[in-house]
Every structure is written in C-alpha cells, then in structure tokens.
C-alpha cells in the first residue's frame, strides 16, 4: 500500500512553502499526501502580507475527514500560528497517535513572523511531547533554547524541553550540517550547501520528506539523512526566476 502522509499547516499562496511545499515533498518521496489547513496566508517570495486563521472546529472536521477514511502513516505540523490552533491540533493527535514530525515554524525566509508570541509555549508544552522528532533551523533552535551555541548543545536543550528527538537543520550558520540527537546518540549529517537564490520552502521540504520517509518505514537516522539530501537537492535545482525574492525550491525537478 502506498504510504499516506498528512501535513497540518498553512497555505502559501505563492506555492513555495507551507502546505504546497509539503505535498510536493510527499509526492517526491513516493507517498500520498493529504492536508489539513489551519490558516491561509497572502504570501509570495518577498513577503507575507496577511494571515487568516481557520476556525478550530473546521480544523477538527478536516482531521476527522482524513483519519476516518484515508488514514495516516505519518504526519507533520508546520506553521500553526496561534495558541488556539496548536491546542486544537494537539488535542486531536493525543487521541490519534501517529509518527509525527514537528517543524516549529516561527519566521518566514522573508522575515515575516509566523508564530504568535503566546503560542511558543504551546508548541513546546503540547506538541513536543507528541513528536517523534522536532526539526528547528538554527535560528528557531536558538529561540527555543533561549540562547545561542553549537547545534549539539541546542539539540540537547530542546530535547530537555520534552522532544523525543531533535534535528537542528544546517541551512543556516557557518557549518552545513544537520545535528540529530535522540537523547542518547548524537549524529551529524553533512549537508551540501548551494549558492542558489532559491531557498523558499527548504525547511518545509526537509520536514515533509522526513515524515514521508518515516511513513515508508525508515529508521529516524536514515530518514533524517534522506530528508537532508532531498532538501539540499531541492535548493540546488531551485527556481531562481520565480518571484523577486528567494525563489521556491524544486523537489520535483520540474525544470527537467
């Protein structure tokens, strides 16, 4: 049976990140993708100009529709924006446990704020305990840990907040390496960095691919390696000609 992956996140009207990036990454990894939208953005490669939350009751209706009929082999959360939406998603997943990748999306590549201040504690307190793995980038890891430092130390700090495993991704900072810590073992995953002005959606592509590979039965370490490679390759073949800002990554190789 084809693995079934669910993204619980926000729509990107520009098609580069969010739900749209997740569904492309699921397909590239050989999974059927379903989606539960929690919010909509007016967004392009330059800016996020508006965010519209969906009613929590409607979010639950979407979750029921997917779980009751299609089923879910693994899921990921992306931009959840508000405390109310995070609480809604966490309450549902507590009673419908699946392998879960939590991408704590806080800031867009354009610099736009994507998580309300009072929602950070809900991500940590409600979603981290449910997660198979949490995938912050370096800036998000520093915000969650409350300090800067090597990825190894940040991963340990975030693990101490309740996450079963952490991957601090390597797209930012001096060293191009993803750092995985599962509470016992530290694993450094080299990432090939490309000087391409098309990184919009790289984090979403990473976390969605990680969820898809977990759905396919891979170990966490192998899935993390596969996700790192997929995100890097998506940047390498990114669509620099799309938009005036950071172009979208291309995980599907549509130019070919």
Give DSSP secondary structure letters for 47-67.
-EEEEEEPPHHHHHHHHHHII
Positive/negative CA dihedral, 246, 39, 113, 162: negative
CB 200 within 8 A of CB 212: no
**What's the mean pLDDT in 32-57?**
96
- Going by pLDDT thresholds of 50, 70 and 90, the confidence category of residue 172 is low
Entry pTM: 0.96
Q: Supply the pLDDT for residue 113.
A: 72
Q: Is the model's pLDDT at 65 over the cut of 70?
A: yes
What percent of the chain has pLDDT above 70? 96
- Going by pLDDT thresholds of 50, 70 and 90, the confidence category of residue 110 is low
**Structure-block tokens of residue 42:** 């007016």
- The β-bridge relationship of strands 177-181 and 186-190 is antiparallel
Mean pLDDT of the chain: 94
- The tens digit of pLDDT for each residue in 204-213 reads 999 999 999 9
- The tens digit of pLDDT for each residue in 125-139 reads 999 999 999 999 999
Instruction: State the CB neighbour count (10 A cutoff) for residue 79.
Output: 26
- Going by pLDDT thresholds of 50, 70 and 90, the confidence category of residue 255 is confident
- Going by pLDDT thresholds of 50, 70 and 90, the confidence category of residue 111 is low
Task: Give the separation between CA 205 and CA 22, rounded to whole angstroms.
Answer: 6
Name which of 90, 101, 108 is nearest 41 in CA terms. Answer: 108
Q: Is the model's pLDDT at 47 over the cut of 70?
A: yes
Q: Is the model's pLDDT at 109 over the cut of 70?
A: no
Task: Give the separation between CA 117 and CA 113, rounded to whole angstroms.
Answer: 9
Q: Supply the pLDDT for residue 163.
A: 96
Instruction: State the CB neighbour count (10 A cutoff) for residue 82.
Output: 18
Q: Supply the pLDDT for residue 177.
A: 95
């Amino acid at each position: 049976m084809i693995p079934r992956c669910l993204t619980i996140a926000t729509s990107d009207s520009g098609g580069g990140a969010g739900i749209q990036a997740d569904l492309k990454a699921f397909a590239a990894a050989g999974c059927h993708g379903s989606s539960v939208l929690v919010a909509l953005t007016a967004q392009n490669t330059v800016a996020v100009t508006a965010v519209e939350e969906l009613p929590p009751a409607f979010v639950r209706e979407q979750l029921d529709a997917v779980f009751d009929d299609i089923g879910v082999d693994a899921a990921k959360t992306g931009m959840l924006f508000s405390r109310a939406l995070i609480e809604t998603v966490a309450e549902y997943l507590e009673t419908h446990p699946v392998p879960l990748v939590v991408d704590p999306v806080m800031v867009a590549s354009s610099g736009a704020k994507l998580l309300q201040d009072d929602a950070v504690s809900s991500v940590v307190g409600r979603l981290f305990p449910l997660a198979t793995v949490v995938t912050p980038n370096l800036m998000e890891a520093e915000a969650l840990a409350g300090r800067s430092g090597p990825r190894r130390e940040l991963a340990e700090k975030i693990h101490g907040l309740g996450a079963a495993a952490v991957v601090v991704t390597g797209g930012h900072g001096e060293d191009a390496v993803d750092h995985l810590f599962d509470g016992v073992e530290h694993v450094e995953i080299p990432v090939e960095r490309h000087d391409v002005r098309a990184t919009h959606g790289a984090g979403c592509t990473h976390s969605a691919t990680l969820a898809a590979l977990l759905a396919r039965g891979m170990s966490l370490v192998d899935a993390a390696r596969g996700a790192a490679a997929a995100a890097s390759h998506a940047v390498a073949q990114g669509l620099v000609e799309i938009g005036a800002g950071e172009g979208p990554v291309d995980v599907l190789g549509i130019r070919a």
